[in-house]
């Protein structure tokens, strides 16, 4: 969450996790003297918000374009340490640290990639305007030992991280996390989408393509996960899709 205090009684805010944004101001003798000043501050806040979002989009695109395929990197080691083995989809890459204080990361774009051949994913770098970063230890043995080891850059706006396209029977698995999504795909053969957080789950309902017949939703055991999964399920059922939920289940590839 970022907060800008543009005046003693006017703030703007933007949440990188859920993309919520807006402003707040105080009125009265300590507030703005007239509505013209309020309008001016609102206009300034809107312009600065647009500029900030554009900067985030450019940053996300730059990070993705400067990452390299995950195979043969510590991303492979990290996933293996989680019990996840097998081919890594091209929608996951390795991002090397650019500065000493940075951590290596697994990076994934929030974008629906092309499928030039059955089961093959192809990301057009120009379409990448938001990314998910999982910060890793230098040896890939786990996530980085920092307070925030998962970051999202750019506005997600209902876009998924796609780890596998829906299968031939129109089956799709949706989870919050990349690791659970990879495990589910290897165990079930379903297509796999990842929301990145519970609050992003509901918006995926409008993005699920019409040829998908059945959606399985993984429900994380926290309020955001339960609420997001329930809202996503309701929206998908309103579209007459078959929906199932899996609660409190952590899938792992034992191969």
- 147-164 per-position pLDDT tens digit: 899 999 998 889 999 999
Tokens found for residue 222: 């926290």
Tokens found for residue 188: 């079930």
Cα separation, 48 vs 54, in Å, equals: 10
Q: What mean pLDDT is reported for the chain?
A: 87
Cα separation, 20 vs 37, in Å, equals: 24
The confidence band for 19, taking pLDDT boundaries of 50, 70 and 90, is low
The pLDDT value recorded for residue 30 is: 42
The pLDDT value recorded for residue 255 is: 38
The residues, any chain, with a CB within 8 Å of residue 111's CB and separated by 6 or more, are 123, 124, 127, 128, 129, 130, 159, 162
Q: Where does the chain hold its CATH 3.40.50.920 domain(s)?
A: 158-255
Cα separation, 150 vs 134, in Å, equals: 5
| Average pLDDT for 200-228 | 94
Tokens found for residue 242: 């078959």
Got the DSSP string for 132-172? EEEEB-TTSSSB-SSS--EEEES--TTPPEEEE---TT-EE
pLDDT of 253 strictly over 90: no
- 119-149 per-position pLDDT tens digit: 899 999 999 999 999 999 999 999 999 989 9
Specify the fold of 158-255: Rossmann fold (3.40.50)
Q: Is 201 left (phi over 0), alpha (psi -120 to 50) or beta?
A: alpha
């Amino acid at each position: 969450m970022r907060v800008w205090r543009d005046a003693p009684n006017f703030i703007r805010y933007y949440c990188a996790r859920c993309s919520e944004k807006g402003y707040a101001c105080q009125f009265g003798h300590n507030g703005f003297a007239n509505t013209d000043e309020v309008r001016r501050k609102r206009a300034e806040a809107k312009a600065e918000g647009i500029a900030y979002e554009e900067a985030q989009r450019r940053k996300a695109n730059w990070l993705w374009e400067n990452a390299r395929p995950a195979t043969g990197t510590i991303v492979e080691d990290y996933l293996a340490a989680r019990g996840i083995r097998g081919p890594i989809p091209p929608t996951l890459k390795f991002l090397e640290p650019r500065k000493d204080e940075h951590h290596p990361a697994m990076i994934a774009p929030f974008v629906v990639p092309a499928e030039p051949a059955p089961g093959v994913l192809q990301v057009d770098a120009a379409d990448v305007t938001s990314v998910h970063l999982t910060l890793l230890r230098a040896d890939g043995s786990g996530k980085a030992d920092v307070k925030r080891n998962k970051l999202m850059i750019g506005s997600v706006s209902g876009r998924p991280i796609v780890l596998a396209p829906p299968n031939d029977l129109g089956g799709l698995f949706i989870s919050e996390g990349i690791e659970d999504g990879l495990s589910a795909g290897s165990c079930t053969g379903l297509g796999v989408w990842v929301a990145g957080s519970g609050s992003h789950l509901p918006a995926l309902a409008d993005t699920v393509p019409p040829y998908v017949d059945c959606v399985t939703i993984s429900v994380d055991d926290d309020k955001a996960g339960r609420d997001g999964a329930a809202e996503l399920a309701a929206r998908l059922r309103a579209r007459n899709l078959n929906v199932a939920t899996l609660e409190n289940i952590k899938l792992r590839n034992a191969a």
